[in-house]
Amino acid sequence: MARRAISLLLPQWSARVFSVELERAPSYFSIGLQGKHRGDEDVPRVFSKVQNYERCYSLLVCGGDRIRLAKCYGELQEKLRRHLPPECVLSPMTSFLPNVKDSLIKGYFVKDNSQSPSASEGLLRDLIQNDPVLVCSYSRGEDGQQWTQRLWSPDSQTHIDMSKASYYVVPSEAPEYHPSTLNIINSDVFYSLEEACEVLKKCGDIIPEAASVMELLPSRAEARSKPDFPVIVIEGLDATGKTTLTESLRAALGASLLRSPPQCLSPMRPSFDREPPLIRRAFYALGNYITAEQIGQEGTKTPVIVDRFWHSTAAYAIATAVTGAVSDLPAEGSDVYRWPTDLLQPSLVVLLTLDPEERKRRLRDRGQGETQEEQELDHNQLFRLRVEEAYRRISGPACVTVDASPSADQVLRQVLLLIRAKCHL
């Protein structure tokens, strides 16, 4: 499988761009024919940062179906962390054809400063023999600046150059679109019940809980008409007051209160949270469809309040897939922000916002454990800004932002005014 993947990639290899995560933002380089090195301006940023490292490697996961690729990508990280010498530093990386959809290949970049390359290279040789992994090594030239890329053969214990030519790494301008944005649709965010189901159907042999999730799904996917009563979704980061507000709205409006993901999926969440993004995102997408079925049932009798819905699923997935600044997100109006055509649309979506320091104080006061994404929100300001902006860009319907810093009673009064104005309650 790895040999076939290489044969498919080789004709396009020199057209590919490589991206390595440095300081939470992508740094790009490409490859070119060997030529005279003209100075520091010809050294890609990622290599100008590795002057203290003797060797570097890239590992790209390619070949096979996307379920196998997703699992292999997650398992590869664990193998590298467990078996590489402690002197090695690991960074996420990708390879892609600029502005070409679904050309993204994910992997890792390894900086190696161990005393002997044998431990690292022994592991890498084992990987290319047994896993769908493409390995390249990078060596520094005699001038100490120019770096050369060489591709390893999957059926040889030595590495070879490509097409009998020498290649060296050169800087590459950032592409028009962040590379991950061309890979989001139905990989990080799902836009139909059918697409999300397709992922879980293929997971039955590796995740026993997948069958249980499938049994809970609606019998068919279809565009749903509005229930008889309004449906109000409350969105926001943790500790913005969603639980307090939703409980108060239930009492004030005599409404039903639902949550997404629904309670029936709680026993399965720990298993899926350990899975790679493709599988984990499909699971949470299906949770929205189960919640939508519950909304349809409750909405025939009373107004329905929903604690998080599709906005959360999409906003966190988009912000995780696209690293870097807010400007790297897909532009407003992009298809990645569109509402799924077969998912029930709420009457109103309220997004609670809060000053970051106040939100962190509330989290500390609650004394509850944080999810991995919540920890990332606290440690990475850019991630928080991307999540908040993704929330704002989702349409069908768009969020109405409400400041959650006043007292709970004041926030409740403001939201009730919104509901009465927009939902005629």
- The pLDDT assigned to 32 comes to 81
Helix (H, G, I), strand (E, B) or coil at 235: strand
β-partners of residue 17 are 96
- pLDDT tens per residue, range 82-108: 989 888 889 999 999 988 888 899 999
Of residues 380 and 317, more confidently modeled? 317
- The pLDDT assigned to 352 comes to 95
- The pLDDT assigned to 163 comes to 45
State the virtual CA torsion across 122, 123, 125, 130 in degrees, nearest 10: 140
**Which residue type, as a one-letter code, is found at position 206?**
I
Of residues 42 and 312, more confidently modeled? 312
d(CA 422, CA 153) in angstroms, rounded, equals 63
- The pLDDT assigned to 35 comes to 52
Helix (H, G, I), strand (E, B) or coil at 48: helix
**Which residue type, as a one-letter code, is found at position 364?**
R
CA angle 20, 47, 86 (to 5 degrees): 75
**pLDDT band at 317; cut points 50, 70, 90:** very high
Q: CB neighbours (10 Å) of residue 189?
A: 26
Q: What domains lie within the chain, and their CATH numbers?
A: 2-181 (no CATH), 184-423 (3.40.50.300)
- Angular region, 160: left φ>0, alpha ψ -120 to 50, beta rest: beta
Q: What integer is the mean pLDDT of 334-346?
A: 94
Task: Give the percent of the chain with pLDDT over 90.
Answer: 51
State the virtual CA torsion across 38, 40, 44, 46 in degrees, nearest 10: 150
- The pLDDT assigned to 109 comes to 95
- The pLDDT assigned to 340 comes to 94
Give me the DSSP letters along 246-308: HHHHHHHHT-EEEESS-GGGGGGHHHHHTS-HHHHHHHHHHHHHHHHHHHHHHTTTS-EEEES
- The pLDDT assigned to 270 comes to 93
Is the per-residue pLDDT at 23 higher than 70?
A: yes
Of residues 121 and 200, more confidently modeled? 200
Q: What integer is the mean pLDDT of 238-249?
A: 92
- Reported as half-sphere exposure (CB side, CA atoms, 13 A), residue 351 has a value of 19
DSSP-based helix, strand, coil % in the chain, nearest 5 = 45, 20, 35
- The pLDDT assigned to 8 comes to 59
Give me the DSSP letters along 108-134: EEEEE--S-THHHHHHHHHHHHHSSEE
Highest mean pLDDT among 131-135, 252-256, 376-380: 252-256
Is the per-residue pLDDT at 239 higher than 60?
A: yes
Task: Tell how strand 231-236 and strand 304-307 pair up.
Answer: parallel
Per-residue CA distances from 425 to 232, 252, 416 (Å): 11, 11, 9
Q: What integer is the mean pLDDT of 409-419?
A: 96
Asked whether the beta carbons of 340 and 192 are under 8 A apart, the reply is yes
Is the per-residue pLDDT at 225 higher than 70?
A: no
d(CA 32, CA 149) in angstroms, rounded, equals 10
**pLDDT band at 51; cut points 50, 70, 90:** low
The two structure tokens encoding residue 236:
């926001």
Q: What integer is the mean pLDDT of 414-421?
A: 96
Is the per-residue pLDDT at 368 higher than 60?
A: no
Of residues 24 and 338, more confidently modeled? 338
